[in-house]
Chains A and B, each alone.
Chain A
Amino acid sequence: MSGAGHSSPTILRVNGVAREVASPPERLLLDVLRGELRLTGTKRGCGIGVCGTCTVLVDGVPRLACRLPLGEIGEREVLTIEGLAGHDGTLHPIQQAFIDAGAIQCGFCTPAMVLRAKALLDRRPDPSREEIRRALGPVLCRCTGYHQIVAAVERAAHVLVRGKT
């Protein structure tokens, strides 16, 4: 299956590290992350681009890893949930806000929700509730009713803005 024998390895920049991967360029990023790199924080809720749980950030933009072939990524930087906390384990303020606001239940949608929130807040530090809902819209959550997740993003926005000023 893997073309490792006859094609040269690809370099994938993920979570700040350039990693050599053996997967062929047509392999989906989700399978590369989960299967080859064991970055299993990126979830597979449907595999066909509907549930959003496979969301990663590619140069800061949310993308569905189950729809994205490895070869399309090129030099761009992939961020998964594993790359968000500091090396010393310090949580990113968005992660902390999710804990504080009770936004985590079963946790299966959580990595994708956090990354969508990060993409939003990087772009719009002070979003309206409507903008938050729009940003989270592509990720399905069956547990929370979304309210505590929206509240977590609002809380994170406050912390991040305050932290900067």
Chain B
Amino acid sequence: MSFDPTLIVEAWPQLMRGLETTVWLFLAVMILCTPLSLLVALARLSRRRWLSRAAGTYVNVIRALPLLVILFFTFYGLPSLGIFVSPFTAALGGMVLVTTAYLAEDLRAGLMAVPRGQFEAADALGLPQARFVRRVLIPQALPIMCGPYFTRAIVTVKATSIASLVAVSELTSASMAKVTETYRAMEYLAFAAVAYILLSALIAVVQAVVQRRVRLP
């Protein structure tokens, strides 16, 4: 057994393209899921029965399905309905559907950790609900949400590897393509592993910065 780093250097452009796709997929998922999951979390806490029920049903159904099954739905299922999208878009759609459900639960826990007294004070002052959410609830929930949010981000960055099974040439897929092409596994998998670790580390750095900024005085 030998480890030949020059193999990585030779495959660098392909591997980097895969990494790039992973990063874009991840960023697109998080950018879409963050506001959506906040809305779902707020909906679940809403006093309007039908709204909290609808949100709860969505979360519970989606949570029960394997990510891969959902990606197969968006990849194979949509075209059978006459909706044709690129593999990237299909994967993005499926991942947004799933990640929003999980993230909504994470954020809901943060919202629920804000003390009851805050709701009562706002009610007693007659603060409109939207203003309460924006000015009181979210600023106080943010520091609590941070940890679970970024943990979910790290889970999501790794989950993008599943998109390799629906024809998206992301990091795992690009690495595996080289493995089957050259019959050398260690080099390319090592590249992929290091890249995932670096991405997670980067997320942890962002978390530390954000956590400092949203801390309550």
Instruction: Answer yes or no: are A and B bound together in one complex.
Output: no
Report B's interface with A, CB cutoff 8 A.
none
